[in-house]
Chains A and B, each alone.
Chain A
Amino acid sequence: MRDVAVVGTGMTKFGELWGQSIRDIFVEAAQQAITDSGVDHVDSLYVGSMSPGLFVNQEHLGAVIADYLGVNPIPATRVESACASGGAAFRQAFLEVASGASDIVLAGGVEKMTDGADVTDALATAADQEYEVYHGITFPGLYAMIAKAHMHQFGTTREQLAAVAVKNHRNGAKNPNAQFRSEVTLAQVMGSTMVADPLRLLDCSPVSDGAAAVVVASLDVARKLNKSFVKVIASAQASDTIALHGRESITTFKAVVEAVKKAYKIANLRPADINLVEVHDCFTIAEIVVSEDLGFFEKGKGGEAVAQGLTAIEGGRIPINTSGGLKAKGHPVGATGIAQIIELYEQLTSHAGPRQVKNVRRGMAQNMGGSGASCVVHILEAQ
């Protein structure tokens, strides 16, 4: 397989975009990415989107996007892996270029969640319909059960969960595209409305509209473009049981462990070699558990780590979610995985402005579906 690079990026603001449709926002992000990259064409495109059918009654999204982007007749495919749809779309684009089948592929993600669908119902389709959702569990409910188990087993505290939200809001405040640009205090998080014990409103990522896109190209093409680019040095994916009750352990995401193991092996690296990571913090507890499963902290110590500031931009040992994470940046489901890649790209090309981490060489993006049934991990390296 040949080397692959990310050569351009584009994204809309994430938030409640009342005036724009799913087609509008995707085209906006994609155009930006194409212009940013300087390429004059793309060979194919992948769009990650969890459920345009349920949110806006539109399937066949690849065809719709290619039409509205004006790139017919290139192949266009929608990729779905629940909340990991964006990461999975990126992986498909990576594989298509790495294999030599294409030279330039657009990888995008989009979700339009505010057009009136029952969001709780739609998001619940990422869980086991017949044996989880049938019984009344919700997405926050699933992660709440993980939180309770983690607290019971390792003594993780409510304050530690809140610390994740506080940190991510502090980072998001510095991100012009973030849905929430204001900081929150520990007290505000701990006092917000209870959604599913012990998770409160401010432990949960929001409902958002948004689109993000990147242009992926072979290293040869990248070099000829005469601009900064970033190399993809590992791409990995793994799956686990659909239902949380089917997992080996409720406090470890095996799909994360397996995917990152493969990624480290491909790139011949260890956790200490990674300088920053974008983690799938759909709920605060997710960031804590994933930070352990990615190998940055011992199992059970993820809560302590964030409370001690080890994952902050300033003075952190391993900054997590410098973009603001899903919590502050927003979580238009399908777009999230791509937005993570974009944050790494900005950091690795020294364009992250007030969020810039110093001396970064390698960044990791971890995107996860459902309650951990799928996980996609990428490692990018500055050039």
Chain B
Amino acid sequence: MITARYHREIPQRYRLEAGKCSTCQHIAFPPRPVCPKCKGRSFDTVRLSDEGKIVTFTIVRVASEKFSKQTPYAVGIVELQEGIRITTQIVDAELNKIEVGQRVKLVFRRIQEDGRAGILCYGYKAIIA
């Protein structure tokens, strides 16, 4: 993981900072330079809520090298209170008890590491509320 590439996404991954269009109020996460709704170019920073519900999910059993020691693990699309959807792991749960529609909370966890000597990468994951 190239450190600059990781560093740029910290406000989004650590604090869920999104961009709210000053013209049409549409919220984009992660923030965009151009508003997807009205093509506006000016934004305010807002922090998304840390609560939401599961829209859909799967249990990954065959993963890439980086995540291979964590299988099986659940990944889902969670819709936060603002209506924004994010992709995130669902952890600390019995895999066969996860259901579409369940309420979740986002917590701060280690997402991946760049091998044994590279940087540690953090971000959000969901736990069943």
Contact = CB atoms under 8 A, between A and B. Distances in A.
B57 A131 contact: no
B87 A245 contact: yes
Contact of B87 (A124, A199, A244): A244
A163 interface: no
B89 A118 contact: no
A62 interface: no
A136 B75 contact: yes
Interface residues of B, number: 32
Interface string B42-70: 00000000000001111111111111001
A245 B87 CA distance: 6
A196 B87 contact: no
Interface residues of A, number: 33
B85 interface: yes
Contact of A134 (B56, B73, B111): B111
A159 interface: no
Contact of B63 (A136, A144, A145, A149): A136
A117 to B, nearest CB: 11
Contacts of B57: 145, 148
B104 interface: no
Nearest to A133: B64
A244 to B, nearest CB: 7
A257 to B, nearest CB: 18
Contact of B111 (A135, A141, A196): A135
B123 interface: yes
A38 to B, nearest CB: 46
B91 to A, nearest CB: 10
A246 interface: yes
A296 to B, nearest CB: 24
A243 interface: yes
Interface in B1-40: 9, 13, 30
Contacts of A146: 56
A25 B32 CA distance: 41
A195 B61 contact: yes
Contacts of A199: 58
A224 interface: no
Contacts of B64: 118, 120-121, 124, 138
A2 interface: no
Contacts of B63: 120, 136, 138
B112 interface: yes
A137 B87 contact: yes
The 6 A-B residue pairs with the shortest CB-CB distance, nearest first, are A144-B58, A245-B85, A149-B56, A120-B64, A197-B59, A145-B56
Interface of B: 9, 13, 30, 55-67, 70, 73, 75-77, 85-89, 100, 111-112, 121, 123, 125
Interface of A: 118, 120-121, 124, 128, 130-132, 134-138, 140-141, 144-146, 148-149, 152, 193-199, 243-246, 250
9 contacts: A131-B30, A136-B66, A136-B70, A136-B75, A141-B75, A144-B58, A149-B56, A194-B59, A245-B55
